[in-house]
Structure 1
């Protein structure tokens, strides 16, 4: 297992090995630590979260979301990880969605794949699929993650998402930028002058032309 998680993607997943609590980089409240220990003992995974400025090399921020919508954060050394999983493909997660949602999500997965921008999923549907516990409610959104390559692919993907995004289930989520940051697809589709961009360890505003230029340069490369 590589010691430095700098290139491990946010919304990816890990499982921690025995004794992980001895590798904590920040203290946890006793009750939350006990719950996290029970969670890991059951073999359930944790999601990779955004780092924080000042985190050291080889340190990892993780999240545990419970079915009752509580959030527990963990800050551990990466060598506590015994298994790492990429963000969950939507094609895999469809089987864990409510039956009424499955045709729409399967069609979206197929159409995104045809564009060359395969969809991943995070949030409640991903937690439900990864754990077998019940997270999805009738009012839940589906959080999607896309990594389009080039401006034309981005534009076609946004057209697709705008066309289907307000059906049932409602679609939310992010577009990964070529530099590894991410922006909400709904915000990018609205073409505002400035966008809220989430980097590996920071959140900030960027102007729209600079974000689109990343895709233009990627297409030209």
Structure 2
């Protein structure tokens, strides 16, 4: 299934389509990416994109001098997608992170495994892992995806993220079963703000404001007491 942050590999003709969809000064970067068989990243479709096209992104490492980050938007036909993978699991990236992050990342990975959740990584740490190129800088965040399947997992996972954020520069999103993604820091703030608060939810079709209760309804209660507690919200 194609979702935001999915990793995408292309057929040869797909790379030709990707190159044709980009500005001329992107050609060298796209060809180098192809030659190294590196994945592209799925993004939300452009407003004028055809139904049978995929909108993808290629993010280059920060420029050594200006520190600017170049992101190249690409489009290809869906038929030219060779392989789709989920974003990397956090355990795959720990060895590519700065040593000062590694113990806390390993601990968070183990704790989330204990509640049956797999954290996934996008952004600079994921790209550094996938390519071996220097994406991380002293100001980099760790972008995590947390996709809870139950109310208990959501609440326990949010607690673990909040604890880990005291030691790590965490950022990222909660992803709900319906595909909506909410910045987990925004979700934490909304939980303290009362019933009138709405959160910005993104998916492959757009962005809209939603009540947290609407999103929580997508998750499975794991016990009668949880179901009663949710009905009382």
Shorter-chain TM range is: 0.7 to 0.9
Aligned residue number for residue 199 of structure 1: 203
In 1: Cα distance, 2:182 partner to 2:135 partner: 24
TM-score (norm 2): 0.84
Q: Which has the larger radius of gyration?
A: 2
Aligned residue number for residue 106 of structure 1: 106
In 2: Cα distance, 1:124 partner to 1:115 partner: 26
Cα-to-partner distance string for 1:175-200 (whole Å, 9 max, x where unaligned): 11121111111111112501000011
**Given that residues 14 and 83 in structure 1 are in contact (C-alpha distance below 8 angstroms), is that contact kept between their aligned partners in structure 2?**
yes
Q: CA RMSD in A?
A: 2.1
SS in 1 for 2:100: helix
In 2: Cα distance, 1:51 partner to 1:25 partner: 17
SS in 2 for 1:19: helix
How do residues 67-78 of structure 1 correspond to structure 2 at under 5 angstroms?
A: 67-68=61-62, 69-78=69-78
Tell me by how many angstroms 1:88 deviates.
Answer: 0.3
Aligned residue number for residue 27 of structure 1: 21
Instruction: Find runs of 4+ consecutive structure 1 residues off by over 4 angstroms.
Output: 216-220
How do residues 56-67 of structure 1 correspond to structure 2 at under 5 angstroms?
A: 56-67=50-61
TM-score (norm 1): 0.88
Tell me by how many angstroms 1:76 deviates.
Answer: 0.8
Tell me by how many angstroms 1:93 deviates.
Answer: 0.7
Instruction: Indicate which of 2, 6, 9 corresponds to 1:15.
Output: 9
Instruction: Indicate which of 38, 41, 49 corresponds to 2:43.
Output: 49
**Given that residues 25 and 76 in structure 1 are in contact (C-alpha distance below 8 angstroms), is that contact kept between their aligned partners in structure 2?**
no
Aligned residue number for residue 132 of structure 1: 132
SS in 2 for 1:204: strand
Aligned residue number for residue 39 of structure 1: 33
Tell me by how many angstroms 1:106 deviates.
Answer: 0.6
In the comparison of the two structures, how many residue pairs are matched?
213
Shift of the 156–82 alpha-carbon distance from structure 1 to 2, 3 Å rule, reads: same
Shift of the 142–51 alpha-carbon distance from structure 1 to 2, 3 Å rule, reads: same
In 1: Cα distance, 2:128 partner to 2:40 partner: 12
